[in-house]
């Protein structure tokens, strides 16, 4: 899976938890970095991305690109904006998680999306 989060402590903590729970996790600190990884044919089975990021490209931009290029890849969008849960449609392949979140909540959504 690809974890995109610009807050280094949160990204590191989340990636470590996911790895310890058996998930192969690639980290990116920005949408631009994530797009570069994906353009280099890095294969992922799930995307976890923050909604708001600096640097021009947002998690929403990244999520939209993923949905167009790889519609079969499920995604989880994280945000501190509680209203996003109602504004960004969720569905069979998409979840929204409000920050701060419990790491177990992320894992639960991963398991549901990948049907583990």
Burial pattern 65-99, b for ≥16 Cβ within 10 A else e, equals bbeeeeeebbbbbbbeeeebeeebeeeeebbbbee
- Spell out the domain ranges in the chain: 2-95
Query: Domain 2-95 falls in which CATH fold?
Result: Rossmann fold (3.40.50)
Tokens of 77: 């969008």
pLDDT tens figures, 55-112: 767 787 888 888 889 989 999 999 888 887 677 666 678 898 999 999 999 999 999 9
Contacts of 103 (CB under 8 A, 6+ apart): 13, 14, 17, 18
pTM score over 0.85: yes
pLDDT tens figures, 18-41: 999 999 999 999 999 999 999 898
């Amino acid at each position: 899976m690809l974890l995109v989060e610009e807050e280094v402590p949160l990204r590191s903590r989340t990636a470590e938890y996911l790895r310890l729970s058996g998930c192969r996790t690639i980290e990116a600190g920005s949408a631009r970095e994530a797009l570069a990884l994906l353009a280099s044919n890095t294969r992922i089975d799930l995307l976890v991305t923050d909604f708001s990021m600096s640097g021009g490209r947002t998690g929403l931009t990244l999520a939209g690109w993923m949905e167009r290029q790889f519609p079969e890849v499920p995604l989880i969008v994280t945000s501190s904006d509680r209203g996003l849960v109602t504004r960004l449609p969720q569905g069979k392949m998409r979840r929204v998680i409000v920050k701060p979140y419990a790491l177990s909540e992320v894992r639960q959504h991963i398991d549901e999306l990948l049907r583990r």
